[in-house]
Chains A and B, each alone.
Chain A
Amino acid sequence: MSREQRLARVFVELADTLIAEFDVIDLMQTLADRSVELLHADAAGLMLADQRGRLRVIASSEEAAQLLEIFELQNSEGPCLDCFLSGQPVVNLEAETMQTRWPNFWPRCAAAGYRSVHALPMRLRDEVIGAINLFSHSASKMSTDDMVVGQAFADVATIGLLQERAVQEKPMLAEQLQSAHNSRVIVEQARGVLAERAGVSVDQAFTTMRTYARTNGLGLTSVASQVIDGSLDGGELQPT
């Protein structure tokens, strides 16, 4: 399949998440996964601002503790923070530049085997609400095409976040951002609950919940809530 064909499929898939029972975490997760697939990245994550100057991971293509630490570190320095503060893409920097600019962040990336890292802003009008972060094991540059696609993903993430209810003004954005962060926590707690009940890993539990949500046209967060309150348990949710 050509890249254009794959892209077309991804956008149909994304449109689908906006039509079915919408779930912001599921959309963000899809974007993280597809970013890896289509943007020559080995790992990708989306970070959202919490309106208090702090960036939090809302979705990540992998759960390695090392990678999560790298995301967290960017509350002090790193491409996501720079991208968030400037509203501009932070891409294609030379290793020496990254070493100088991010003396704590960059060595951690290098230790985790990453040779290049990029960030693209999620913007709503004048406001930057987060960033997509891409990591690659090779010292690769983003092409202009990659950047166009990556920025389209970032824009879809922003639209999706605001789509849940029509957002005309800032208070609504504030409501959406807080809600998205709390949904993430619900999903994480449910992963733990299901992992323990089913005797599987938290990664497996996540896949199980996502598959169940997709298959049944439900939102991931509502499935997670049902796992937590026990209305959805082992019977319906067999790990695949």
Chain B
Amino acid sequence: MARERAQQILTDLKESSQSSDPSLPQRLLEACAAALPVTGAGLLVMTNTGPGAILAATDGPARVMEELQFTLGEGPCIEATRSGRPVLQPDLAATAPSRWPGFAAGALDAGIGAIFAFPLQVGGIRVGVLDLYRNRPGPLADPDLAEALDFADAATTVLLHLQAQNGPDGVVTLLEDRNEVHQATGMISVQTGLGLADALLLLRAHSYAEERGILDVSRDVVSRIMSFAVRGRLQE
């Protein structure tokens, strides 16, 4: 169920795309804010050292929310990416001042009542954070939480592709979440000297080019039928 929904989100974005449209991350955020009972949303790119850039935001408070975290280096999204878990704050006024004093003051001033931060990650690959905010306190109901997680999956895929130096163009499909794929990603990163994110994209690009399933290719890598190191040398 989940994967179908996240893939649907990506497909809808692609189909509705016009050349004059805002960027894909911006449209993703707008779709996300429209689909969920939230007031606005923001998307931060994370690097190994901290927040890298504000990639997109829906409105005034969303931008304030991201800029505060970016500037202060504290807040729910920083914590989400550091801990690798969502940070759900249904009542910001009650919980945030003791956890993130600087951020809380500014966020409450901007009229933010609740924040839900979802780390965008594939294991050790951390590409960013999706932040949703509400002008009033209140939790996300279960179906909304599920929808938010699907948007987070879609956003992870989009950000990975944006970061790819040589990913397949225009092919934005969901990541296959299987053990063998993650193991193969780790192996390929050592074989090629690339980071995990690039290794994963290389694996996907190769599967796509060979018209094989990524799980199939991953199994070949794990069982050492195939090596990206050997391929690299042969190509040279």
Is residue A202 within 8 Å, beta carbon to beta carbon, of the partner chain? Answer: yes
Nearest chain A residue, comparing its CB with the CB of B85: A179
Residues of B within 8 A of A53 (CB): 1-2, 146
Interface residues on A, range: 35 or more
Contact of A54 among B3, B142, B219 (CB under 8 A): B3
Given the known inter-chain contacts A51-B146, A54-B1, A171-B90, please indicate yes or no for A186 contacting B183, CB distance below 8 A: no
Residue A195 is within 8 A (CB to CB) of chain B in the complex? yes
Q: Which of A204-240 contact B (CB under 8 A)?
A: 224-225, 228-229
Is the CB of A61 closer than 8 A to any CB of chain B? no
Cβ–Cβ < 8 Å partners of A72 in chain B: 178
**A178 CB-CB contact with B under 8 Å:** yes
Neighbour of A51 across the interface among B5, B124, B145, B184, CB < 8 A = B145
Complex-state Cα separation, A183 to B119, whole angstroms:
13
A92 within 8 A of B: no
Q: Is the CB of B85 within 8 A of A228?
A: no
A52 touches B190 (CB 8 A): no
Answer whether residue A57 sits at the interface, using C-beta atoms and an 8 A cutoff.
Answer: yes
Q: Is the CB of B96 closer than 8 A to any CB of chain A? A: no
Is there contact, CB below 8 Å, between A195 and B186? yes
Which of B1, B88, B184 is close to A174, meaning CB atoms less than 8 Å apart?
A: B88
Query: CB-defined interface of B122-141 with A at 8 Å, one 1/0 digit per residue?
Result: 11110000000000000110
Q: Of the candidates B86, B118, B146, B183, which one forms a contact with A188 in the assembled complex, judged by CB atoms under 8 Å apart?
A: B183
Q: Name the contact of B186 in the complex, choosing from A57, A176, A190 (C-beta under 8 A).
A: A190
Which of chain A's residues have a CB closer than 8 A to the CB of B157? Answer: none
Give B72 Cβ to nearest chain A Cβ, in Å: 22
Interface pair B123/A192, CB less than 8 Å apart: no
Say yes or no for B177: interface residue by CB 8 A criterion.
yes
Which chain B residue lies CB-closest to A172? B88
A57 contacts which of B140, B149, B179 (Cβ < 8 Å)?
B179
The secondary-structure label for the interface of chain B is helix
Interface size on B, residues (CB 8 A): 42
Q: A179-B85, A182-B85, A228-B124 are in contact. Are A52 and B149 (CB under 8 A)?
A: yes
Most buried by B among A176, A185, A228: A185
Whether A171 pairs with B139 at a CB distance below 8 angstroms is yes
Q: How far is the CB of A193 from chain B (nearest CB, A)?
A: 4
Contact A185 B85 (CB under 8 A): no
Give chain B nearest CB distance to A83 CB in angstroms. 17
Complexed CA–CA distance, A186 and B119 (Å): 14
A170 within 8 A of B: yes
**Cβ-defined contact, B88 with A171, below 8 A:** yes
Q: Is B222 an interface residue (CB 8 A)?
A: yes
In the complex, chain B residues whose CB is within 8 Å of the CB of A54: 1-3
Q: CB distance A178 to B186 under 8 Å?
A: no
Please judge, given known A-B contacts A193-B190, A196-B186, whether A188 and B123 are in contact too, CB under 8 Å.
yes
B149 adjacent to A196 (CB under 8 Å): no
Q: Contact check, B86 vs A175: say whether CB atoms are below 8 A apart.
A: yes
Chain B CB within 10 Å, residue with most, of A57, A183, A188, A191: A188
State whether the Cβ of B7 lies closer than 8 Å to any Cβ in chain A.
no
Name the interface residues of A35-54: CB closer than 8 Å to any CB of B.
Answer: 50-54
Q: Assess whether B182 is interfacial by the CB under 8 Å rule.
A: yes
Of all chain A residues, which has the CB nearest B126?
A182
Report the Cα distance A170→B90, complex, angstroms.
11
CA distance A15 to B74 in the complex (A): 35
**Smallest beta-carbon distance A228→chain B, Å:** 4
- The residues of A that contact B140 with a CB separation of less than 8 Å are 171
CB distance from A54 to the nearest CB of B (A): 4
Residue contact A196 to B146, C-beta cutoff 8 Å: no
How many Å lie between the Cα of A179 and that of B150 in the bound state?
A: 15
Report the bound CA distance from A51 to B184 in whole Å: 26
Does B217 sit within 8 A of A, measured CB to CB? no
B residues in contact with A185, CB < 8 Å: 122-124, 177, 182
* Contact status of A192 and B186, CB under 8 A, knowing A50-B149, A228-B196: yes
Contacts A/B (CB < 8 Å), 16 sampled? A50-B2, A52-B5, A52-B146, A52-B149, A54-B3, A170-B139, A178-B118, A179-B84, A179-B86, A184-B123, A185-B122, A189-B125, A196-B186, A196-B190, A196-B191, A228-B123
Residues in B lying within 8 Å of A, measured CB to CB = 1-3, 5, 83-88, 90, 118-119, 121-125, 139-140, 142, 145-146, 149-150, 177-180, 182-191, 196, 219, 222
